[in-house]
Structure 1
Amino acid sequence: MTTNASPATTRARTSALALVGDVVVVLAFAGTGREFHSEGNPILGVLLTAWPFLEGLLVAWALPPIRRRPLRVWPGGVAVWLGTYVIGMILRGATGAGLAVPFLIVAATVLGVAFLGWRAVAWLIRRAVRRA
């Protein structure tokens, strides 16, 4: 596949798609949790659960390593994971939302697997395409 896109355009497109992927991870995490616990209004409930983690995600995305190489598992993916998780939990705690130990463990695990996992799959696909 040949494109005439400049490197800057390609980088911007990759970053935008990576950010969308990360937002999807957070929304899926919040939606799955809400569904698992059979809690009320699905759309509002997901947004209420997701907002602290979306804030954390945006703060993490402000870091230069993430913007420069958003598909890298290290350091970008790890920074996205930890920033989203830590800031999300701080905001949850500050607003009186639950911070039960099982939730802390499940959230760290699920977000880590999802953020790092999709990046690892993207890396494998890019590698396979480059070899083909």
Structure 2
Amino acid sequence: MPITATATPRTSAPQTVILAAAADTGLILLFAAIGRDAHQRGDIITGVLSTAWPFLAGAAVSWLALRLWRGPLALWPAGVAVWIGTVALGMLLRAFTGQVVVLPFVIVALLAVGAFLLGWRLLALAVQRLRTRRRRA
């Protein structure tokens, strides 16, 4: 099944969906861990989970609302949707639960989460294209 930047297939293989969801989850946790390390050093595991849960919830809602399992590797709409949904809903949940939401953090989150969630999809696209070229050669 080819991976393109804009087209999404009707369905994806279950292992592809699981790996894509795991990649998104792992990278959101990495984002939270990097932020915690830069600003607060205590409570490593619970602190990371405390920071990450609003973003993980935002990603989950994005996945479910937009049925991203149909084409989880595509940059559009899957990558962009999960990126924007993760940050927007994550910030709303942080605000509703009394966690800090300031403009510099929103900007850093947009950039970092975007780089992570779009970046791995770009790598997957590049690998798929390379494999396709090698098969044709």
Query: How far off is 1:115 after superposition?
Result: 0.6
2:109 to 95, 107, 115: 107
How do 1:25-36 and structure 2 match up within 5 A?
Answer: 25-36=27-38
Q: Runs of at least 4 residues of structure 1 off by over 4 A?
A: none
Percent identity, please: 45
Alignment correspondent of 2:44:
42
Question: In 2, distance between residues paired with 1:99 and 1:82?
Answer: 16
Q: 1:91 aligns with which of 90, 93, 98?
A: 93
Instruction: List alignment gaps of at least 5 residues for structure 2.
Output: 1-10
2:5 aligns with none
Please give the TM-score of this superposition, normalised by the length of structure 1.
0.89
Q: Distance in 1 between matches of 2:129 and 2:88?
A: 31
Q: Does 1:20 align with 2:22?
A: yes
* Contact in 2 for aligned 1:30/1:50 (Cα 8 Å): yes
Distance in 1 separating the partners of 2:54 and 2:17: 21
Moved more, 15-24 or 37-46: 37-46
- Once residues 123 and 57 of structure 1 are traced to their aligned partners in structure 2, the CA distance between those partners, rounded to angstroms, is 21
Provide the C-alpha distance between the structure 2 equivalents of 1:66 and 1:18, rounded to a whole number of angstroms: 10
Describe the superposition over 1:45-67 as per-residue Cα deviations: whole angstroms up to 9, x where unpaired.
00000000010111011134511
Contact 2:59 2:85 (8 Å CA) reproduced: yes
Asked whether the 8 Å contact 2:94–2:100 carries over to 1, the reply is yes
| Structure ranking higher on relative contact order (CA contacts 8 Å, 6+ apart) | 2
Conservation of the 8 A alpha-carbon contact between 2:12 and 2:70: no
* Residue of structure 2 equivalent to 1:124: 126
Task: List runs of 5+ in structure 1 lacking aligned partners.
Answer: 1-8
1:130 & 1:38 partners in 2: Cα distance?
45
- Which residue type is aligned with residue 133 of structure 2? R
The count of aligned residue pairs is: 125
Partners in 2 of 1:10 and 1:77 — Cα distance?
Answer: 15
Q: What is aligned with 1:54? A: 56
Instruction: Please provide the CA RMSD for this pair.
Output: 1.6
TM-score (norm 2): 0.86
What letter matches 2:55 in structure 1?
F
Quick check: 1:55–1:84 contact (8 Å CA) kept in 2?
Answer: yes
Looking at structure 2, the residues matched to 108 and 130 of structure 1 have their Cα atoms a distance apart, in angstroms, of: 32
